[in-house]
């Protein structure tokens, strides 16, 4: 085990994982000091019935297909085993106990950064875990003194990754409209979606 290995945690529903996700993760792996990027697949919130959200294991499997053979990436089902709903602070606390030699960091879009003041135990989160931020179109920082104080205390690395405008919503809608969305997905992921008839209704 490499001591002090720096792991970037990329949280998401990955519904489905697409080239925008892997491009951002790839940029983080190549242009920052992160040693590895873990795709942390968020479980379905049992309190919310989302018709478009595929079962947890299918979304995890598609991430595995998309990153197969890349030792800088890893798919993680860690949140499937934690109490729901999953809070980032709880996931990080668990991971830190499980992998004490690793340094965990959060990867998030600029839009998520500006909601930090609404997160559970946000003070503890920013104190313990560095944040790597990639740009998102139309992200506007709200006027909020609580957020301002949080961001002052946070260790933030702004990463100048290309702006990615591909979204899961766009892909799911395209599939429903019977369009060829293969241009936006890893070939193995597209093949699996077609075989399983995901998102068609």
Position 200 in a domain:
no
We report the CATH number of the domain holding residue 104 as 3.40.50.620
- Among 155, 194, 189, 193, smallest CA distance to 75 is for 189
pLDDT of residue 84: 83
Total number of domains constituting the chain: 1
Position 175 in a domain:
no
60: its two tokens: 């995890």
pLDDT of residue 161: 94
Position 183 in a domain:
no
Please calculate the CA angle 16-169-116 and round it to the nearest 5 degrees. 90
Q: What range defines the domain where residue 52 resides?
A: 5-165
Signed CA dihedral, 65, 169, 55, 11: sign only: positive
Position 177 in a domain:
no
Position 37 in a domain:
yes
CA distances from 24 to 104, 116, 200 (A): 17, 20, 27
Position 139 in a domain:
yes
pLDDT of residue 2: 47
Whether the Cβ atoms of residue 58 and residue 95 lie closer than 8 Å to each other: no
Position 186 in a domain:
no
Low-confidence ranges of the chain (pLDDT < 50): 1-2
108: its two tokens: 């998030």
Position 26 in a domain:
yes
Please give the model's pTM, rounded to 2 decimal places: 0.94
């Amino acid at each position: 085990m490499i001591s002090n290995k720096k792991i970037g945690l990329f949280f998401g529903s990955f519904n489905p994982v697409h080239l925008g996700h892997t491009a951002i993760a790839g940029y983080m792996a190549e242009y920052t000091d992160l040693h590895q990027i873990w795709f942390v697949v968020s479980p379905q919130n049992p309190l919310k019935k989302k018709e478009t959200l595929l079962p947890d294991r299918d979304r995890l499997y598609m991430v595995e297909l998309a990153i197969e053979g890349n030792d800088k990436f890893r798919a993680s089902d860690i949140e499937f085993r934690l109490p729901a709903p999953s809070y980032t602070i709880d996931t990080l606390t668990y991971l830190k106990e499980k992998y004490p030699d690793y340094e965990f960091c959060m990867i998030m879009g600029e839009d998520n950064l500006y909601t930090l003041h609404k997160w559970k135990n946000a003070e503890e989160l920013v104190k313990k875990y560095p944040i790597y931020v990639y740009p998102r179109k139309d992200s506007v920082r709200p006027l909020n003194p609580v957020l301002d104080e949080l961001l002052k205390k946070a260790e933030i690395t702004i990463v100048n990754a290309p702006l990615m405008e591909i979204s899961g919503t766009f892909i799911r809608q395209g599939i429903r409209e019977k369009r060829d969305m293969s241009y936006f997905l890893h070939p193995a992921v597209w093949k699996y979606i077609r075989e399983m008839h995901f998102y068609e209704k």
